[in-house]
């Protein structure tokens, strides 16, 4: 199986390193970068991993040229949600008639955007609970193991998906198939809507949000609004008590620095539009007021707009 992983960020680097480390002679693993200079450097130095799986180095094949990889059996999209369409358009040389495209990105809407470029029948949705931090290009900290769930929006299971599950499990990525991936995607969005923007605004780790009454109150209100939207859209969430679940996630990932906080600390664009922004947009469409999510979006966008003023 030829596998192309798009995006050398934290998650893309971890997938590339683990799949390369455990690959058989029948598998070919590539990491696609949009930055040619960085691709050359990563191809030369490899990816250094530290953390829960020990300290080790993977010699990953990296390129900035999609045509150099060619048609792939599996494309794994690990770019930020706002780069989805551009990344897929640029990587069309990877897509053949039998190619599967798996998204393990944050937020809602990536499946649909990928489908517009590659064809909806090729897209597999994914949710992963892996904890990983990008320390610098080619160096990551594997903070916590977690499960990965994949599935088609129509609920169908294919031989291709079973092969992906087997491949991932063999590489130490605990993976299963769901016939309700939409429920998993929305369940993760509900959790992210509460945690991510508040950590980015307060600069607190996930667990610390629960130590401050004001932050805890806003977290619960943001989650309640997101759940209200999910219910109106008749999405079945994975847990009966979303508020208890999001607080349990805070405790289980107490020392983690959310991806949105990492983005803010590095003065990068966040994925607020694909997370809380989704809640706001559907709220407008459905006539449901979501004032806390609207405020969180406005505040994060203010931070993004002020990066240049802070230089």
The residue-averaged pLDDT of 3-14 equals: 97
Percent of the chain whose pLDDT exceeds 70 = 99
Q: pLDDT of 267-285, one tens digit each?
A: 999 999 999 999 999 999 9
pLDDT at 207: 95
By 3-state DSSP, what share of the chain in percent is helix, strand and coil, each rounded to 5? 50, 15, 30
pLDDT at 143: 87
At residue 304, does pLDDT exceed 70?
yes
Number of other CB atoms surrounding residue 15 within 10 Å: 27
Q: pLDDT of 21-47, one tens digit each?
A: 998 888 999 999 999 999 999 999 999
Domain boundaries, the chain: 2-179, 182-305
- The fold for domain 2-179 equals Rossmann fold (3.40.50)
Predicted model pTM:
0.94
CB-based contacts of 34, cutoff 8 Å, min separation 6: 64, 87, 90
pLDDT at 2: 97
- Asked about 85 being catalytic, the answer comes back as no
Q: In whole angstroms, give the CA distance from residue 218 to residue 214.
A: 6
Q: In whole angstroms, give the CA distance from residue 18 to residue 24.
A: 12
Q: pLDDT of 70-90, one tens digit each?
A: 999 999 999 999 999 999 999
pLDDT greater at residue 5 or residue 255:
5
pLDDT at 310: 66
Q: pLDDT of 47-76, one tens digit each?
A: 999 998 899 999 999 999 999 999 999 999
At residue 171, does pLDDT exceed 90?
yes
CATH architecture assigned to 182-305: Orthogonal Bundle (1.10)
pLDDT at 164: 97
pLDDT at 152: 97
Q: Do domains 2-179 and 182-305 have the same CATH topology?
A: no
Question: At 114, is the pLDDT very low, low, confident or very high (cuts 50, 70, 90)?
Answer: very high
Token look-up 């990068």 returns 268
Q: pLDDT of 234-264, one tens digit each?
A: 999 999 999 999 999 999 888 888 999 999 9
pLDDT at 311: 57
At residue 127, does pLDDT exceed 70?
yes
pLDDT at 309: 75
Active-site pick, 188, 217, 245, 268: 188
Q: Which long-range contacts (CB under 8 A, 24 or more apart) does 151-160 make?
A: 151/124, 151/125, 151/126, 151/177, 151/178, 151/179, 151/180, 151/181, 151/184, 152/123, 152/124, 152/125, 152/181, 153/111, 153/120, 153/123, 153/125, 153/181, 153/182, 155/179, 155/180, 160/98, 160/100
Token look-up 């590659």 returns 118
Best CA proximity match to 84, nearest among 103, 100, 66: 103
């Amino acid at each position: 199986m030829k596998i192309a992983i798009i995006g050398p960020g934290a998650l893309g680097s971890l997938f590339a390193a683990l799949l390369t480390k455990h690959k058989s002679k029948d598998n070919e693993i590539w990491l696609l970068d949009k930055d040619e200079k960085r691709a050359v450097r990563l191809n030369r130095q490899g990816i250094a991993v530290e953390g829960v799986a020990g300290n080790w180095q993977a010699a990953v094949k990296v390129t900035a040229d999609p045509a150099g990889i060619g048609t792939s059996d599996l494309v794994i999209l690990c770019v930020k949600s706002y780069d989805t369409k551009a990344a897929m358009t640029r990587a069309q040389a990877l897509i053949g008639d039998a190619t599967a495209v798996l998204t393990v990105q944050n937020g809602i809407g990536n499946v649909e955007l990928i489908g517009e470029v590659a064809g909806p029948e090729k897209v597999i949705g994914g949710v992963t609970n892996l904890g990983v931090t990008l320390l610098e290009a080619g160096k990551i900290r594997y903070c916590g193991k977690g499960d990965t769930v994949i599935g088609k929006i129509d609920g169908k299971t294919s031989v291709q998906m079973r092969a992906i599950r087997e491949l991932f499990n063999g590489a130490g990525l605990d993976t299963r198939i769901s016939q309700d991936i939409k429920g998993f995607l929305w369940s993760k969005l509900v959790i992210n809507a509460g945690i991510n923007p508040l950590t980015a605004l307060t600069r607190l780790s996930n667990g610390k949000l629960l130590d401050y009454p004001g932050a805890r109150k806003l977290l619960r209100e943001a989650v309640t609004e997101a759940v209200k939207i999910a219910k109106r859209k008749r999405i079945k969430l994975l847990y009966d008590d979303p508020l208890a679940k999001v607080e349990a996630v805070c405790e289980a990932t107490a020392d983690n620095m959310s991806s949105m906080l990492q983005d803010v600390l590095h003065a990068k664009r966040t994925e607020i539009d694909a997370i809380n922004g989704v809640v706001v947009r559907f709220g407008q469409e459905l006539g449901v007021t979501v004032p806390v999510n609207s405020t969180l979006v406005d505040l994060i966008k203010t931070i993004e707009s002020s990066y240049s003023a802070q230089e």
